[in-house]
Amino acid sequence: MSTMLPSSRQSFSFFYNSSYSSSSSSFSVFLCLTLFLLYTPPFVFATNNEASLLFSWLHSSTSPPPSFFSNWNILDSNPCNWSSITCSPKGLVTEITIQSVPLELPFPSNLSSFVSLHKLVISGANLTGTIPNDIGGCTELQVIDLSSNSLVGSIPASIGKLQNLQDLILNSNQLTGKIPVELSTCIGLKNLVLFDNRLTGSIPSELGKLTSLEVLRAGGNKYISGRIPEELGGCSNLTVLGLADTQVSGSLPASFGRLSKLQTLSIYTTMISGEIPPEIGNCSELVNLFLYENSLSGSIPPELGKLQKLDQLMLWQNSLVGVIPEEIGNCSSLRMIDLSLNSLSGTIPLSLGGLSKLEEFMISDNNVTGSIPSNLSNLTNLMQLQLDTNQISGLIPSEIGMLSKMTVFFAWANQLEGSIPASLASCSNLQALDLSHNSLTGSIPAGLFQLKNLTKVLLISNDISGSIPPNIGNCSSLVRLRLGDNRIAGGIPRAIGDLRSLNFLDLSGNRLSGSVPDEIGSCTELQMIDISNNTLDGPLPSTLSSLSGLQVLDVSVNQFSGQIPASLARLASLNKLILSRNSFSGSIPSSLGLCLSLQLLDLSSNKLTGSIPVELGRIEALEIALNLSCNGLSGHIPPQISALNKLSILDLSHNQLDGDLSPLAGLDNLVSLNVSYNKLTGYLPDNKLFRQLSPMDLAGNEGLCSSNRDSCFLSDVSNTGLARNQNDIRRSRRLKLAIALLITLTVAMVVMGIIAVIRARRDIRDDNDFRIGELMGLAIYSIPEAKFLS
């Protein structure tokens, strides 16, 4: 037919054999192209364009894309076959889902070209750059998940145009700016997840219009501030509300009581204050109530007792007062209660004995009184019982031994009396026991040391008597044993050598006698030994040199004799060596100069003779104190001592030292120096330290004279020609100020460390005592192990 198009073979013949003019040929080509375009579906071109955009984005970096994208081939014009891409039946891209693949690419541009896109998930991919405004043109979008990337900039207000949007998940990026008010127009929004960014401003009250909203999480944005909008009570479908670790302030809205579907309320580590609204008791679906580390005041509302599904009640570190409501005992689903670090008073409610699911009960650091209820033994699932730092009195009930799952029992710093129940030996899972700072009497139950999981036993500062149970070696899991400041007598059992995991041994301030067993050298994990203030005698065992990790050795105020073991030089980690007020004799081992980590060396009040070893000058770390006073040392002060330029306290008094003081002239960091009652001669060095020294620190040196040569220091300070003038008074004040400053700085660092640790997470506290020892009026503090919470 004349109207039919020629076949391809006919076309070939036509172009080469026909006699038509060139204009006729052009018309035929145009006609072919027109018909092709008319009969080609439009989505084919859209698909080709989407494929091109995706491919270009993947290759926008100089680095080759991950092998995960090996099938993204530009020669395949249909991206529907590509990994992470889903298409509609017409071949248009509807979903992009890329998770946990290290892309390291900027956010894709021209997103508005994907006209059918309803799900965009690019998470954990190290996506960079900003979220473009044209994302608001993807009107079909229902899900946007760009979490865990490196996105910057603000959240585009254009997202408010996405009327179909249900999930906006942007957490764990570096987004800045305010939460756009325009998000309130996304009327179908169910999940708004913005936590762990750098957002600022306040929570828009307009978000209260989002009646479909189920999850709102904006915590971890440290600069979000302002009051929590009362309007959020209108989000009637809300199940999770998280604003933790922000600067939101003001009181908790009473309107939260209208959130009948709320399961988790997480507003901790913020600046909120005021009382806990009793209306919270209307949130009948509430499972988790996290309001810790705030400034909440008032009492705990009894209405919380209506929360039958409540699993975790975390109100620690606030300013709550009043009693623990009896009604809490009605929350039959409770697993965790932490009310620590408040000012609660009254007694522990008996109703808590009915919480059969309870696993953790923590009320540390309050003003709780009364006794420990015996019906707590009904809590057969209880694992942590922390009652420390209260005013709890009476006996520890023997029924506590029925808590077979208990791993932690802390009741230190209370007013408990009576003996330690032998029934505790039935707590087969017990790991940490701290009953320190009470008035407990009787002996230590031997059964405790049959517990195979026990790692920490702290009974410091009680009135415990008897001896250390000889079966202590059976407790091979023991890491920390602190029995200081009691009335324990007898010897140190040889079985202590079986405690191969022990790293902290404190037996100080007791009535222990006899020698230290050689077996102690088998406790190779030991880091601290404090056996001071006892009546122990004999020589120090040479096996101590096997304790390569030992950091503190304090054997002061005992009756030890013999020579100081030269083998102590093997203790490379030793930083405090305190041997004072014993009967050690002989010379100071020169090998101590190999203890290069020593910060404090106290050998005072012994029977040591000979000279000061020049090797002590090698210990550059010696910064707290060097005390060699009250011995029989002789000879010159070695010039090598001048290398101890970090030293704060030096006491060489009451010896037989001679020569001059020139080796001490360069010790610029000294805040206390005492060289009295020696045989020193010559003139004082003319520097600030010696100009400010008190005559009492120089007395008893007949040949020692002041730098201006107008007075000398005789055997009695009252006979010296150097009066306590105004300069002496100023010097004394400066010295006291310097020592106070040292102590203040130390305590400040400790407090800052405690605060930082507490704000990270409160955990099990074990060491509650601060004092390790005292030396020349300067207290040496150990850092208490702080609580944390996950």
Tens of pLDDT, residue by residue over 299-309, are 999 999 999 99
Amino acid at 37: L
CA torsion angle 561 563 569 572 (round to 10): 10
User: What percent of the chain has a predicted confidence (pLDDT) above 70?
Assistant: 83
Instruction: Quote the CA–CA distance of 351 and 562 in Å, as a whole number.
Output: 62
Span 651-656, mean pLDDT? 98
Tens of pLDDT, residues 511-526:
999 999 999 999 999 9
Q: pLDDT value at position 109?
A: 84
Higher pLDDT, 661 or 759: 661
State the average pLDDT for the chain: 87
Contacts of 684 (CB under 8 A, 6+ apart): 661, 690, 693, 698, 704, 705, 706, 707
Instruction: Quote the CA–CA distance of 605 and 401 in Å, as a whole number.
Output: 47
- Which residues is 128 bridged to in the sheet? 106
Instruction: Quote the CA–CA distance of 62 and 374 in Å, as a whole number.
Output: 70
Q: pLDDT value at position 457?
A: 98
Instruction: Quote the CA–CA distance of 629 and 93 in Å, as a whole number.
Output: 86
Confidence band of 702 (pLDDT split at 50, 70, 90): confident
Q: Is the distance from CB of 762 to CB of 784 less than 8 angstroms? A: no
Instruction: Quote the CA–CA distance of 541 and 518 in Å, as a whole number.
Output: 6
Instruction: Quote the CA–CA distance of 758 and 320 in Å, as a whole number.
Output: 18
Instruction: Quote the CA–CA distance of 719 and 182 in Å, as a whole number.
Output: 88
For every residue of 571-635, DSSP letters joined together read -TT--EEE--SSEEEEEPPGGGGG-TT-SEEE--SSEEEEPPPGGGGG-TT--SEEE--SSEEEE
Instruction: Quote the CA–CA distance of 41 and 48 in Å, as a whole number.
Output: 12
Sequence-ordered strand ranges (E) for 55-153? 85-87, 93-99, 119-123, 143-145
Whole-model pTM over 0.95: no
Please say if the pLDDT value at position 770 is more than 80: no
**Residue 209 token pair:** 């219009």
Q: Is the distance from CB of 214 to CB of 189 less than 8 angstroms? A: no
Amino acid at 404: S
Span 691-713, mean pLDDT? 81
Helix H or strand E segment including 337: strand 336-338
Please say if the pLDDT value at position 155 is more than 90: yes
Please say if the pLDDT value at position 717 is more than 70: no
Ramachandran bin of 731, using left for φ above 0, alpha for ψ from -120 to 50, beta for the remaining angles: alpha
Long-range pairs for 544-549: beta carbons < 8 A, 24 or more residues apart = 544/520, 544/568, 544/571, 545/521, 545/569, 545/570, 545/571, 546/521, 546/522, 547/521, 547/523, 547/571, 548/524, 548/572, 548/573, 549/503, 549/524, 549/525, 549/573
115-117-123 Cα angle (round to 5)? 140
Q: pLDDT value at position 788?
A: 29
Q: Residue 640, SS3?
A: helix
Q: From the CA atom positions of the chain, what is the Rg in Å?
A: 39
Instruction: Quote the CA–CA distance of 440 and 390 in Å, as a whole number.
Output: 15
The alpha carbon of 294 is separated from its chain's Cα centroid by a whole number of angstroms, namely: 18
For every residue of 97-116, DSSP letters joined together read EEES-----BPPS-GGG-TT
Q: Is the distance from CB of 612 to CB of 590 less than 8 angstroms? A: no
For every residue of 259-301, DSSP letters joined together read -TT--EEE--SSEEEEEPPGGGGG-TT--EEE--SSEEESPPP
Q: Is 670 exposed, middle or buried (0-12, 13-18, 19+ CB in 10 A)?
A: buried
**Residue 580 token pair:** 């004072």
Phi, psi of 152 (to 5 degrees): -125, -175
- Which residues is 658 bridged to in the sheet? 636, 679
Q: Is the distance from CB of 440 to CB of 417 less than 8 angstroms? A: yes
Long-range pairs for 691-695: beta carbons < 8 A, 24 or more residues apart = 691/727, 691/731, 692/727, 692/730, 692/731, 692/734, 692/735, 693/731, 694/724, 694/728, 694/731, 694/732, 694/735, 695/720, 695/722, 695/724, 695/728
- Quickly count: other Cβ atoms within 10 Å of residue 726's Cβ: 7
CATH topology of domain 576-723: 3.80.10
Q: Of 35-44, 386-395, 560-569, 596-605, give the lowest mean pLDDT range.
A: 35-44
DSSP state for residue 152 in the 8-state scheme: B
Please say if the pLDDT value at position 388 is more than 70: yes
Q: pLDDT value at position 161?
A: 96
For residue 372, which of 442, 429, 435 has the smallest C-alpha distance?
435
Q: Of 12-16, 74-78, 237-241, give the lowest mean pLDDT range.
A: 12-16
Q: pLDDT value at position 78?
A: 85
Q: pLDDT value at position 413?
A: 98
**Would you list the domain boundaries of the chain?**
576-723, 739-781
Instruction: Quote the CA–CA distance of 269 and 291 in Å, as a whole number.
Output: 8
